[in-house]
């Protein structure tokens, strides 16, 4: 009888332990789902705030009726929150569909560290890919930067190094890069990998541009024309000290049916863990 009672007690203890583990697992799952739900809510609120701030900046730019030909940084207050907004003409990037092969080769050397021979070969491969007629007899070009992966010799690690410098959204006739709008990584390419010259130019440009010069850059690759295609970035602070970086690309056009003089054609959001970095 005592043996039977002991076995029953052991069985009950095992059952209690199993139930405890099950309950703990369910509680952990509920907590995880709650955190995920809160994160999704915060992301949605941050994206909405960023959209509002960027549209206020666009309205201000359109009210001034001035062409946008350089990088602009400004702060917008929305719902008592300061949101940093950056406006960049899209021709600050290298146009995958029109950049001269010499510029593409310099990009592969500077950003990916490839030797000149390999960089030149890849530049020529990109040129062939965008100019070879397709089934319709017309070159298809690159519809997105991701299409670079179809070029022979370009794998994902190489693509990841050069993709942030490129765009496929500019017209095929726009082959020059606007140094007044270019991010630091593109300025390095334009300066032939001369980090000091690129940094000096960026500092002078961002301070007002009066002393900025392009002596270290290949002027054949440059164009300071304004662009009606703009990339806006907004940094929205979150309660935990991190920020959400929201990126939108706009085509400034005539009045549309929805009443807005612009159209969004690209949208992404990122977690930004470096609160001291600019947009």
The domain ranges of the chain are 34-91+225-272, 94-221
Q: What is the reported pTM?
A: 0.82
CA atoms within 13 A on the CB side of 106: 19
- What pLDDT, in 10s, does the model give residues 117-158? 999 999 999 999 999 887 777 888 899 999 999 999 999 999
Q: Is 98 exposed, middle or buried, given 0-12, 13-18 or 19+ CB atoms closer than 10 A?
A: middle
Architecture of domain 94-221: Orthogonal Bundle (1.10)
Any residues with CB less than 8 A from the CB of 130 and at least 6 apart, and which?
A: 96, 97, 139, 140, 141, 142
Mean pLDDT of the 108-121 span = 97
Mean pLDDT of the 250-254 span = 84
* Residue whose structure tokens are 């600050």: 92
Query: CA-CA distance, 55 to 50, in Å (whole number)?
Result: 8
Burial profile 250-272: b = 16 or more Cβ within 10 angstroms, e = fewer: bbbeeeeeeeeebeeeeeebeeb
Three-state DSSP state, 158: helix
**Distances, alpha carbon 3 to alpha carbons 11, 12, 13, 170, in Å:** 12, 14, 15, 83
* Residue whose structure tokens are 């009443």: 259
Q: Are 256 and 124 in contact (CB under 8 A)?
A: no
Query: CA-CA distance, 89 to 66, in Å (whole number)?
Result: 13
- What pLDDT, in 10s, does the model give residues 42-85? 778 888 899 999 999 999 999 998 889 999 999 999 888 899 99
CA 124 to mean position of chain CA atoms? 26
- H or E stretch covering 265: strand 262-272
Geometric angle at alpha carbon 241, from 240 and 247, rounded to 5°: 105
């Amino acid at each position: 009888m005592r043996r039977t009672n002991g076995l029953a007690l052991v069985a009950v203890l095992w059952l209690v332990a199993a139930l405890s583990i099950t309950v703990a697992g369910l509680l952990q799952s509920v907590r995880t789902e709650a955190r995920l739900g809160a994160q999704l809510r915060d992301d949605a609120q941050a994206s909405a705030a960023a959209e509002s701030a960027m549209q206020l900046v666009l309205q201000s730019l359109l009210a001034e009726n001035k062409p946008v030909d350089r990088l602009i940084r400004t702060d917008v207050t929305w719902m008592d929150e300061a949101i940093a907004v950056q406006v960049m003409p899209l021709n600050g990037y290298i146009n995958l569909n029109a950049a001269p092969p010499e510029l593409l080769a310099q990009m592969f050397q500077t950003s990916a560290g490839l030797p000149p021979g390999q960089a030149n070969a890849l530049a020529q491969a990109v040129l062939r890919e965008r100019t070879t007629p397709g089934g319709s007899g017309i070159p298809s070009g690159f519809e997105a930067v991701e299409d670079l992966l179809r070029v022979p010799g370009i794998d994902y690690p190489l693509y990841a190094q050069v993709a942030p410098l490129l765009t496929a959204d500019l017209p095929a006739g726009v082959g020059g890069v606007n140094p007044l709008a270019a991010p630091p990584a593109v300025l390095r390419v334009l300066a032939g990998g001369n980090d000091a010259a690129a940094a000096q130019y960026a500092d002078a440009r961002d301070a007002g541009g009066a002393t900025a010069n392009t002596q270290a850059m290949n002027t054949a690759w440059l164009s300071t024309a304004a662009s009606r295609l703009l990339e806006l970035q907004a940094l929205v602070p979150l309660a935990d000290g991190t920020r959400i970086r929201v990126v939108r690309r706009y085509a400034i056009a005539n009045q549309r049916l929805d009443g807005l003089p612009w159209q969004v054609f690209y949208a992404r959001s990122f977690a930004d863990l470096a609160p001291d970095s600019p947009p």
